[in-house]
Each structure stands twice: as C-alpha cells, then as structure tokens.
C-alpha cells in the first residue's frame, strides 16, 4: 500500500514506518523535526528510514495547511497514519499554545486533506491521558472520558471528537488509538526510561514523583507497532448495534472506532526503577517528589476491544523491553 505516516521522525512514527517498509509498503514520512527534544536523535531515525526502499521524507508542519495538502496531490494514499503531535503532559503546562497549533489546527488539516482525497482510512494517535480523573480500572474505551487534567489530554480528547464529526459528516473511516506509556529502543529522551537510564549511568540522582507510588501500564514499542499496523489495515466500520439512548463512546453509526493499546499489566514506578537497576547493574539515587500537576496516579488498559477487532494484545514483559532499550542505549551513546 501507499501510506502517509506523520511524525515519521518521532519515536512511534519511526518504528511504524520501518515496519510498513519491511513488509513492502511505500511510505511518505512527514515531520517538522522540531527541537522539543534532541534533533540529532530524530535525524538518526530518519537516516535509517532513508536507507530503506520505498521511503520518501517531506519536512513540514501540521499547522501549515498548504504543506499538508501538498502531500495529497500525487498518488492517493491507501492509508494515513497520523502520529505527529506536540507530546508531553508536563510541557503542556509550560507552552500551551504549541498544543493548540499542532494538535488541533494540525489535526484539522489532516482531516480536511483526508476528506477531500477520500482517504480509505485514517488511523491517529490518541492517548491514555484522556482518562483523566477516571478511577475505575482498567480504563475502558466504553467509559466516558470528559474530565482531562492536562491541556495535552484535552487536545487528544478533542481529536477523537473531531474525528467522529468527520466520520459522521463525510463517511471518513477513522480509528483512534489510545497509547499507554510507550517505551523501547529509539525512545523519547523526555520519557522516564530514557531519563532514568541516562542519570543512573552518569551517577546522578533521579526524580521519582509521587514517592514512587505511581502505577503505569508500560507498553513496549513492538507491541504498539503491531497494534497500529493491524488497526490501520482494518478499515473502521459503523457499529450496527450502536444505541443512541445508551451511546458507546468507542464506536458509532459512522465509520469510527477507538481502541486502547496498553500492556494490561501496570507496575509501580519503584518496580520499574528496580528493573532498570537490575539491567544496568547499578543502583539509582532517588530524589522523591510529590505528584506533578497533570499526572494521574495510575493507568491500566482494557485491551479486549483491540483483541476482538484485530486479534492482537500487547504482551512483551517489562524485563524484556527494558533490557532491549538499555542494549540500544549503550550502543547508540557508546556508554
């Protein structure tokens, strides 16, 4: 197939692009390659993709409607996988305007381009952050999610609403994927695993929020990629049993679907750190801090809907995933 992957220089976008290329698809990667984190890491990912047959890279910003529309002027895309966004819960408290431009205006440009090009299926990244103040676990796509606690989460919830509108008005098939704490080789430097590994190897203390009592559904990148590719392959369809009197948020009479992608096996932050220590053979100095604004105490994904839809559920053990990340980190940074 001919696939557009936005955010191709990013962590998940890089891995998804590589998986598509390895199976023989043609991939156009789109990314602004901003400096939210190390540009060199993004360029290194792109360098690997450029070595693969069938990859084309276009540099541009989501909020530039002309640049987005230009992507769709050549051969039509069989699939669009939209992974580009301004990421990060805590950064959304410091620079909220970046989230409105990239995550809202940018997503609208993608929706409009897909609508006019009659794209057969748009798959896009949502986030477990949309569950906000929800306390019932595991988090289910069938539950209401109207109480986000960060602007980042609010923009992701808005993406789901915008996608539904386009699915309803224009019969554009859309599938939203709520990612749960993705980690693995080539990961983001602002994420816990990267930060902890770097600090421990340098002999520096690590900041441990909520005194280590946070619980996260850490999900390995290869599992995420499988979920993304499989859901992209399966075009979203209307739910014939959808009941307006008891509306299910995860589906619709329009071609619209939502799925969680998580490991369904949350661990405490203390255990996560201990696993990193064991893999590194070093002990961390912990700087315990209170919960940060915008954070939630625990996440856990109900992945039954994903498993029923595409026959797949994430299952990589934490110890395996962390060992693979540290192997990559030591090789990439020569430490």
Q: Is 152 a catalytic residue?
A: yes
Q: What is the rounded distance in angstroms from the CA atom of residue 159 to the CA atom of residue 190?
A: 23
Of the candidates 99, 131, 152, 220, the residue annotated as catalytic is 152
Q: Which residues are catalytic?
A: 152
């Amino acid at each position: 197939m001919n696939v557009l992957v936005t955010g191709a220089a990013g962590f998940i976008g890089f891995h998804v692009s590589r998986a598509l290329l390895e199976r023989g698809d043609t991939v156009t990667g789109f990314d602004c390659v901003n400096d939210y984190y190390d540009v060199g890491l993004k360029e290194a990912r792109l360098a690997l993709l450029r070595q693969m047959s069938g990859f084309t890279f276009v540099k541009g910003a989501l909020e530039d409607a002309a640049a987005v529309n230009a992507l769709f002027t050549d051969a039509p895309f069989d699939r669009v996988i939209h992974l580009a966004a301004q990421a990060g819960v805590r950064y959304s408290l410091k620079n909220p305007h970046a989230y409105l431009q990239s995550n809202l205006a940018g997503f609208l440009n993608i929706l409009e381009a897909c609508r006019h090009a009659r794209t057969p299926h748009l798959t896009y990244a949502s986030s477990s952050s949309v569950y906000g103040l929800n306390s019932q676990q595991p988090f289910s796509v069938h539950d209401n999610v109207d109480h986000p606690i960060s602007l980042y989460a609010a923009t992701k919830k808005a993406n789901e609403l915008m996608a539904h509108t386009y699915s309803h008005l224009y019969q554009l098939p859309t599938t939203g994927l709520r990612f749960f704490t993705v980690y693995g080789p080539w990961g983001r430097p602002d994420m816990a695993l990267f930060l902890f590994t770097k600090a421990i190897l340098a002999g520096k203390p690590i900041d441990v929020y909520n005194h280590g009592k946070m619980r996260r559904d850490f999900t390995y990148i290869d599992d995420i990629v499988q979920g993304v590719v499989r859901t992209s392959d399966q075009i979203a369809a209307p739910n014939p049993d959808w009941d307006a009197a008891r509306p299910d948020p995860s589906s619709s009479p329009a071609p619209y679907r939502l799925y969680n992608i998580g490991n369904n096996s949350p661990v405490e932050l203390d255990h996560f750190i201990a696993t990193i220590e064991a893999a590194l053979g070093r002990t961390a100095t912990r700087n315990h801090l209170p919960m940060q604004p915008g954070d939630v105490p625990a996440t856990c994904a109900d992945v039954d809907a994903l498993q029923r839809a595409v026959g797949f559920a994430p299952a990589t053990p934490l110890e395996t995933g962390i060992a693979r990340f540290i192997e990559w980190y030591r090789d990439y940074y020569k430490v």
